[in-house]
Structure 1
Amino acid sequence: MPDVDVAVIGAGAAGLSVAAISANLGLKVALIERGRMGGDCLNYGCVPSKALLAAAHAAAEARRADRLGIRLPPPEIDWDAVRAHVQGAIARIAPNDSAERFRSLGCEVIHASAHFLAPDALEVGGRRLTFRRCVIAAGSSPLMPDIPGLDGVPWLTNETLFELAEPPGHLIILGGGPIGLEMAQAHARLGCLVTVIEAAPSIAAREDPALVAGLREALRRDGVEFREGVKLTAVEPLEARSTAEAAGVVAVLADGSRIAGTHLLLAVGRAPRLAGLDLAAGNVAMTKHGIATRRDLRSTTNTRVWAVGDIADPEGIGPRAFTHVASQHAGVLVRSMLFRLPFTRVDYAALPRVTYTDPELVQVGLTEAEAQAQGIGGLQLRRWSLAENDRAIAEGRPEGEVRLLLDGKGRLLGAGVLAPRAGEMAGMFGLMLGRRLPLSALAGMVLPYPTLAEAAKRAAAEHYAPKLLSPLVKRAVSLLKHLP
């Protein structure tokens, strides 16, 4: 008889969700974690980064309060207090992810590494553990680029960035994706010099170019410098000029230019944590992107094994490194692994992605470029500028816009937003796309006034305006006015 019903490898967002649901349903669960409970999101990702951004945004609001008639002295950045805020946020959330909580749910929590011994067995801390089902939720790690000289200079990732005892004098960030851009703005607003190097022609290369242009300009106003479309070819150590000055790093670019900084942050992507699992012993197939699974997240080669979160590579759609995907995967697993419901599939059609800068950049569904790549014809774009939004005007932030992508029949394919707190609109668009609601549902929605979300409603209404104001409708109204 197996030792446990469900063995979960990894106590990050995905693993914790699966373990909690399984235990609450009465199954015998072993939760295995070799590092810190809560994984990347709690300790090195979502929580500390958003806490740091909150401090940075407070400093920015103080600097620009004069737009509202409030004159304040330049903010004084207390780095120790900022760090205390970041660590305090982690500490306050940590009990939800703690070993004590999961033991109280009935899980056996094991602090050790795990690797497969057989298709139905793991070695965990020197112990053989057999299982009915195993869920691999080992997550991902920062991708280490192959850059000449990298082994000779100090560098940071999101796993070490929040440990800095002093603020960086000049932070060089390699990578213009969400992590790179968020940390660029956070440190710039906290008084650091920041340069972002992106080999692709544009930062946030996957997003709508029109919205990216507005974000780039906002970050430049904060003092962030960009080097886009140029490759980092090497890094060199920068010797300290005095005992009071710390050593740093020099970034050598393909165009021959050199950028000297005090710190280098690597933010070029994520890699699945596959090393050490001995997947071959478990007959678990993998790809370069993670564990090979079917669309129900079940291993393609071992029917006892499922994968969730960053490490899952569902066939045909690939991995997604978002914490909210971990929650989605947990829901799929409940139906697929626990209730054995047929036709359970992961679907990313309504998956939101958010870059938590200020303004925030949101995309739900397809961008115009993605729709064109899929051969979708008759595309229509409906937009509404926040310069025409009453709430944005009242707050002195009339910047950004909502862009809705429609097919030839007026059905919503995707939505992009650049606006303060735009992430709060993502759920509305996700519901629209996930439930395949008609655009009229958004256009007819009753929203509280004034809110930024009204821009989304106005963008939808733009689709119907030409029909509403057509000569035929005007003629009908002219005739109807004679009725009693």
Structure 2
Amino acid sequence: MKDMKVDVAVIGAGTAGMAAFRAARLAGASAVLIESGEFGTTCARVGCMPSKLLLAAANGLHEARSLAARGIEGTHALEVNREHALDYVRRERDHFVKSVLDEVESFPDDCIVRGQARFESPTRLMVGDDTRIEAARVVIATGAAPSVPDELKVFGDKLITSDDLFELHALPAKIAVFGAGPIALELGQALARLDVDVFVFGKGGSVAALTDAPVRDALREALADEFYFDPDAKFDAMSLEDDQPTLRFTSPGGEPRTERFDFVLAATGRAPNLKALALDKTGIALNDKGVPLFDETTMQCGDSTIFIAGDCDGTRPWLHDSADEGKLAGDNAARFPDVQAIKRKVPFSLVFCEPQVVIVGASYDDLEKQMTVTGEASFEDQGRSRVMRQNRGLLHVYADAKTGKLRGAQGCGPAMEHLGHLLAWALQLDLTLDEMLKLPFYHPVVEEGLRSALKDADMKCYEQRSETPPALASAAGG
């Protein structure tokens, strides 16, 4: 038995875990990093980067085939090499993974422990069967894994997850995608634009986690123009017939249909990787999903010496937040009991389908509707969007009716990855609509769509306050 004693043990070497490990060491603590799987992070191996690589290839083909409308002929002859497309994604994916592996290799050998960790007590970990670690503090950063509904397991080895997709030898001819969240929509559209026959089935009507109905509906309609998309699918039967996944369902129009597929992709979300940790030995409180209760301003679990960070905490499943949480957890674990609380960054998420999706700031469902105005801008006839032939989508911004302060936004449309940053920065700086409208907006740019939404919200605030909005009066038209 190998025995170790450290100030901080970090379980999980993903984005959050590596950030926690770096922060703990920077604060002067002795630390170990425990990992039971492959190094390389979810984002680099199976998440952000390979999905964006697939999207980039798909969008390039889609754009090229759309050039005929601009008078560029001969583009319809372009074809997809199904093997080469995935090989390209893997090769570029491996480039991103290597940068992570290089960092891990730079860590001292005695700081890396391989194996599955489990708690024996709040301050004692067993890793595998041969290593015991006494840790004054512990950071849990075990990430999340694809969550697959039991009813889909009937498809056997024809059922894959986003973790498996990029390891296929070639793109399938026809695939059913279950889920209507970010992963499902990004991969579903990418595959459809690479000439895969795609059917996307959601549950309950949710689309990309949007809670603002008009924005959600605008996105649904845009995507349904490219592939079969039913966010509230009704199935009569699911089976594996002659080694082919077979679905019998009723279409949104009420027609019974039967379709057979090469594969079924379960993109139905990810669940925290916590079961193997034996959290019952820690004495910390858990929620009804088995996730530790924690303070998101410190990442501390109750008043214990255990901290949590990243996707395993079940809150903000985005890389930038995982990195922030890991740094915060590692720093506070190293400095315990001098735990410092911080103000967290504004919640901010993107989906990279087209039209892109942004959700920033306060949840639409949590806003007090009588005290909130909604500014709206359509991209259907927005100048720059029409030039780019990406004139689809709707943006809603929410502001306090009395103060004019921005509260949040939900939207789908072109360049939401850029508009989303402007909105998140404005929220972080606590700006009002008037203050935002005093900032420069060039012409012609997609950002003028954001200005239109801000002006609409400012006018509605004016109508409720019955006073002239100074920024609205001075802002240039667009």
TM-score (norm 2): 0.86
Residue identity matched to 1:423: E
Please give the alpha-carbon distance, in whole angstroms, between the structure 1 residues aligned to 2:138 and 2:205: 42
Distance 1:105 1:325, change over 3 A: same
Instruction: Tell me, yes or no, if the aligned pair for 2:244 and 2:260 is still in contact at 8 Å.
Output: yes
Aligned runs of 1:447-458 on 2, under 5 Å? 447-458=441-452
The reply to whether residue 115 of structure 1 matches residue 118 of structure 2 is yes
* Paired-residue identity, %: 26
- Residue in 2 aligned with 1:48? 50
- Secondary structure of 1:396's counterpart equals coil
Deviates more, 1:435-444 or 1:145-154: 145-154
**Equivalent residues, number:** 454
Q: Aligned in 2, Cα 1:149/1:324: closer, same or farther, shift over 3 Å?
A: closer
For the Cα contact (< 8 Å) 1:122–1:128, is it kept in 2? yes
CA distance in 2, matches of 1:233, 1:309: 38
Structure 1 segment 50-449 matched on structure 2, within 5 A: 50-71=52-73, 72-98=75-101, 100-106=102-108, 108-125=111-128, 126-147=130-151, 150=154, 152=156, 154-204=158-208, 206-222=210-226, 224-232=227-235, 234-239=237-242, 247-253=243-249, 257-287=257-287, 288=289, 290-295=291-296, 296-300=298-302, 303-313=304-314, 319-333=315-329, 336-339=332-335, 344=341, 347=344, 350-371=346-367, 375-409=368-402, 410-449=404-443
2: CA distance, partners of 1:17 / 1:169: 40
Task: Tell me, in whole angstroms, the C-alpha distance in 2 between the residues paired with 1:177 and 1:103.
Answer: 35
CA distance in 1, matches of 2:5, 2:274: 24
* Cα displacement (A) at 1:232: 4.2
Q: Once the two structures are superposed, what CA deviation does each residue of 1:390-437 show, in whole Å capped at 9, x if it has no partner? A: 322332322223321122212212112222231122222112222322
Offset at residue 31 of structure 1 (A): 1.1
Please give the per-residue CA displacement for 1:53-78, whole angstroms capped at 9, x wherever unaligned.
11111110011112333222332112
Deviations 1:354-384, CA, capped at 9 Å, x for gaps? 111011011112354442xxx4423211122
Whole-Å Cα distance in 2 between the matches of residues 408 and 427 of structure 1?
23
CA 342–445 in structure 1, closer or farther in 2 if over 3 Å, else same = farther
User: C-alpha offsets along residues 196-234 of structure 1, whole Å, 9 cap, x if unaligned?
Assistant: 111213433533222222322332332x10233234465
Unaligned runs of 5+ in 2: 470-478
Q: Higher relative contact order at CA 8 Å, sep ≥6: structure 1 or structure 2? A: 2
- The letter of the residue matching 1:203 is V
Which letter does structure 2 place at the counterpart of 1:145? Answer: P
| SS, match of residue 276 in structure 2 | coil
Q: Which amino acid in structure 1 is aligned with residue 292 of structure 2?
A: I
Give 1:24's aligned amino acid.
L
Give the AA of the match of 1:365.
Answer: G
Alpha-carbon offset, residue 342 of structure 1: 5.7
Structure 1 residue 156, shift from structure 2 partner? 0.7
Write out per-residue CA displacement over residues 321-365 of structure 1, whole angstroms, 9 at most, x where no aligned residue. Answer: 2222202313432564345666615747x2111111011011112
Change in Cα spacing, 1:396 to 1:252, as seen in structure 2 (3 Å) is: closer
- Structure 1 range deviating more: 80-89 or 198-207: 198-207
Asked if the contact 2:24/2:331 (under 8 Å) is kept, the reply is: no
Structure 2 contact 208–357 (Cα < 8 Å) conserved: no
Quote how far apart the aligned CAs of 1:153 are: 5.7
Contact 2:86 2:171 in 1 (8 A): no
Q: Which stretch of structure 1 is more off in the superposition, 253-262 or 454-463?
A: 253-262
| 2:454 paired with 1:460 | yes
Give the corresponding residue for 1:27: 29
Give the distance between the partners of 1:228 and 1:447, measured in 2 at CA. 36
- Structure 1 length-normalised TM: 0.85
- What's 1:11 paired with? 13
Q: CA deviation at 1:106?
A: 4.2
Q: Is residue 43–residue 319 contact of structure 2 (8 Å, CA) maintained in 1?
A: yes
Structure 1: segments with no counterpart, 5+ residues: 240-246, 314-318, 475-484
Alpha-carbon distance between aligned partners in 1 of 2:157 and 2:104, rounded to the nearest angstrom: 41
Match of 2:420, as an amino acid?
A: A
